[in-house]
Amino acid sequence: MVMTICKVVLYILLAPILGGLMEGIDRVVSARMQGRQGPPLLQPFYDVYKLLAKQTTVVNSIQILFVIAYTIFTIFTGALFFGGGDMLLVFFALSMSEVMMVLAAYSTNGPYSAMGANRELLQMMCYEPMILLVAIGFYEVHGSFMVNDMLTGQAPAVFKIPGMLIGFLFILTIKFRKSPFDMSTSHHAHQEMVKGLTSDISGSNLGLYEIAEWYDQVLMMGIVAMFFIYNNPVSYVIAIVACVIFYLLETLIDNVFPRVKYMAMLVSSWVVILVTAGTNLLILSVIN
């Protein structure tokens, strides 16, 4: 119990720092890929500090409630995961946090926010099935949905569920809202909806949203690490290296591929899920 509490506290304290650094690395690497100087590594922290200090303008008070709920659910989801809890419950809580953000966008009654919320729901339709299949895949390998049980495996889970990893990496691009799937909101200037999902969110509310995104990024990379971690201390080093490589790969994809239409995203994601995760799960069922 003491160890679990320590893990949760460390996640709550360190995840926003790590997430902000990841965001800073993403910006620096993107700038170098485009031949620009780019912002300093700590620019995301400067931006959030400025947002938290600004006056918040809201259309109605319910918007604040939904943004705070989104932040709380996101932190709770990560705390449950890093505390060694039930991975199935982790993914259900993650879905609830996304719903809170969609409701926050709808509550503003702004055209860009509403359009961004609609597209966010489409993106959820694309990545939610894969997330659920990942939980099932880990259960097939370890015989348990508990994260703590998964850490004591005799071999990396990726040996038995490589298709799940491929599918999860594909939907990560959608989950991170990176090009070619940056439809609901975008960090780039080509977004025709301004900021889409967050167009009518400002000040401290937008700062909370950014912090919640940092927590979410750390959680997603933690799930990636689970494919490589087993009952061997060296596996943690391998998992960290793998996370760094895959995160930089996401940045590369974001800068190389143009944005696609929603039907292309929907079809490609479901095809990848069926081919990689579906085939992998079928093979596991036959073997077991």
**Tens digit of pLDDT for each residue in 41-53?**
999 999 999 998 8
pLDDT, residue 193, reads: 60
- Neighbour tally for 84: CB within 10 Å: 17
Higher pLDDT, 285 or 91: 91
Q: Please choose, from the candidates 260, 220, 244, the residue with its C-alpha nearest in 3D space to the C-alpha of residue 97.
A: 220
Higher pLDDT, 193 or 75: 75
For residues 50 and 105, give the distance between their C-alpha atoms in angstroms, rounded to a whole number: 22
* Six-digit token string for 247: 């995160």
pLDDT, residue 230, reads: 92
Query: Domain map of the chain by residue range?
Result: 2-287
Model confidence at 220, pLDDT cuts 50, 70, 90, reads very high
pLDDT, residue 11, reads: 94
**Tens digit of pLDDT for each residue in 84-128?**
889 989 999 999 999 999 999 898 888 888 888 899 999 999 999
Mean pLDDT of 5-22: 94
Model confidence at 188, pLDDT cuts 50, 70, 90, reads low
**Tens digit of pLDDT for each residue in 132-183?**
999 999 998 988 999 999 988 888 999 999 999 999 999 999 999 888 888 8
% the chain with pLDDT above 70: 97
**Tens digit of pLDDT for each residue in 236-282?**
999 999 999 999 999 999 888 888 888 999 999 999 999 999 899 88
